[in-house]
Structure 1
Amino acid sequence: MLKLPHFYFQGRPATQLIADSDYANGILETMRCHNGGLPLWPLHRSRLERSSTLSESLLSEIDRSIKKLASKCSQNAAIARLRAGFVNGEQCWDLAFLPLLKAPEVEFGVRLYLCRTKLPASESKNLGCKFLDRSRYNAARAELPDGERVDGLILDSSGRVIESLRCNLLARFGSTWATPDLSRCGVRGVMLEWLSGHIQWQAREMNIQALCEADEVVLCNSVRGVIPVVEIVGYKSWSIGPDARRLQQLIVEALW
């Protein structure tokens, strides 16, 4: 059994990996490795391709290697952290398998804290990729109060709700699910994309007041699945609703 963390550089075992900051134009994919497989790899691969950062040859190399490497991870569930980009002018990639610790918020819900740090709204089309430069997210994370089950809610420079620091956001208004419009900024998450094939949702602009009118709010990402939101600190509280539990059950039955 491999002891985690376990590292690979260009598909070969490594004792340690370079810092995120050593990558130029670095792309990040954080995935769930489950029973030796990567259930959402095709969607992660599509997002990597969408970034237009990686050469086709490097992307093909990753594609050939990553499933074999995942099969060597004997943990029932782990985090697979893939990085790709330029180091000293050359394209390269690495992969880390990290322990996936139990997250009480999946069962009991998470509280969101509205951060002062905001994301800049781009004038050009937002590709929705996840970059290794996480400086704004790190600044927002530093604002969080101490305590368990707290995530940061981040807005754009015009006050529109975008995402949490780790997840995309879905809000149910009556029978309609909606997610913040990510055309200007934010990460278009793989789990959000997967859910779009199983439930209907619409992208819409919403501020914090509009979000508070939702009947249910959940977060989603490709590692944890769906996490119910029970409070936006200082604004609104919710009980965990039946639709949040249905989404969680859907993921368990279809993915893990």
Structure 2
Amino acid sequence: MSTPAPPLIWINGKQRHQLSALDRGLAYGDGLFETCRLHDGRLPLWSRHLQRLQTSAAAFGIELNIIQLQAWLDTALAVLDDAAIAHGTVKVIVTRGVGGRGYRPSQSAATTIVLAVFADNLELLTASHVPAHIRVCAMTLGRNRILAGHKHLNRLENVLARAEWQDDATDEGLMLDDCANVIEATAHNIFIYRDGCWHTPALTEAGVAGVMRQLIIDELAPCCNVSVIVAPITLLDVCRADEVLLCNSNRGVRSVASLVDGSGVLHQFSGCQHTQRLAVALSNFLQDKGSY
């Protein structure tokens, strides 16, 4: 197996790896991030990532210079083009910047913007996936209406949930909140298909409102003439579903073959035709739209 190439990293527009130890993103998780798919040399869902980034920055009072961010991203994409890097993951991190000791944000802190590119040779958004095998995590998500939906840097719950298994046979972990509502997987949103429509959890009190999740709601499911119901979902709802899928903006959509619940009981899902229809709709969307 070949060793992955080291990531290309820009901090505030300069190619370097050093970040101040006083940056509030490091000290307090005081910031936001987006994980974007580089597909054929472009970021097909960038407009949606940027919209979420702007919305979250405004909600948390983090200054975000969109013109400067776009300029730095253009420079990075040009470097990738010159290096013939057409596929990979582009991570955008925005922190409140360097600040002194204490939680109180400094009014004079300058925002830090990090662009990191992890190159690969995969076409994950359009590739056909082997169905995933998932488990229920013991770690739960705390409820917080202010933080819910945003992709902030405070991801310790997800880290601890992902640390619960080390075997390669398990692909993902399903996370519930402290009221036993299904919220998301550690790095994906979840949809279930039942009674002729897709269902996905309401994320008003916990979880990340993913870009791919919203694309399915807005574009892909309507293209398949299937409605989406956004409402609380229980683990029993998942176990009784006809199909289950995971999604994120870096890996597209993936059907789920089985789920091991908290008691060790295995639940299997034989259907995937509606998930495959969404995957086709996603492939068509990428060919017709999203040109940044």
TM more than 0.5: yes
- The more displaced of 184-193 and 48-57 is 48-57
- The more displaced of 203-212 and 124-133 is 124-133
**Structure 1 pair 143–127 and aligned structure 2 pair: CA distance change class (3 A):** closer
Q: Give yes or no for the alignment of 1:85 onto 2:95.
A: yes
The percentage of aligned residue pairs carrying the same residue is 28
**Does the 8 Å CA contact 1:109/1:149 hold for their aligned counterparts?**
no
- TM-superposed deviation, 1:125: 4.7
Please tell me whether Structure 1 or Structure 2 has the larger radius of gyration of its CA atoms.
2
- The more displaced of 16-25 and 133-142 is 16-25
Question: What is the count of residue pairs matched by the alignment?
Answer: 252
| CA distances 1:66-89 after superposition (whole Å, capped 9, x unpaired) | 244224323231000111112322
Q: Give yes or no for the alignment of 1:213 onto 2:240.
A: yes
Q: Give yes or no for the alignment of 1:61 onto 2:63.
A: no
Gaps of 5+ in 2: 100-108, 222-226, 288-292
| CA distances 1:123-177 after superposition (whole Å, capped 9, x unpaired) | x355511122221111111112412452010000000000000100111113110
**Structure 1 pair 18–133 and aligned structure 2 pair: CA distance change class (3 A):** farther
**Structure 1 pair 252–18 and aligned structure 2 pair: CA distance change class (3 A):** farther
Separation (CA, whole Å) in 1 of partners of 2:19 and 2:64: 22
Per residue, is there more strand in 1 or in 2?
A: 1
If the length of structure 2 is used for normalisation, what is the TM-score? 0.79
Alignment-derived partner of residue 10 in structure 1? 12
Alignment RMSD (CA, Å):
2.3
Alignment-derived partner of residue 237 in structure 1? 268
If the length of structure 1 is used for normalisation, what is the TM-score? 0.89
Q: Give yes or no for the alignment of 1:70 onto 2:77.
A: yes
Q: How does 1:10-159 map to 2 (within 5 A)?
A: 10-15=12-17, 21-22=26-27, 24-51=29-56, 52=58, 53=60, 55=62, 57-73=64-80, 74-89=84-99, 90=109, 91-100=111-120, 102=122, 107-122=129-144, 124-159=145-180
Gaps of 5+ in 1: none
**Does the 8 Å CA contact 1:33/1:70 hold for their aligned counterparts?**
no
Look up the equivalent residue of 2:36 and give its one-letter code: M
- TM-superposed deviation, 1:240: 4.6
**Does the 8 Å CA contact 2:182/2:232 hold for their aligned counterparts?**
yes
**Does the 8 Å CA contact 1:21/1:133 hold for their aligned counterparts?**
no
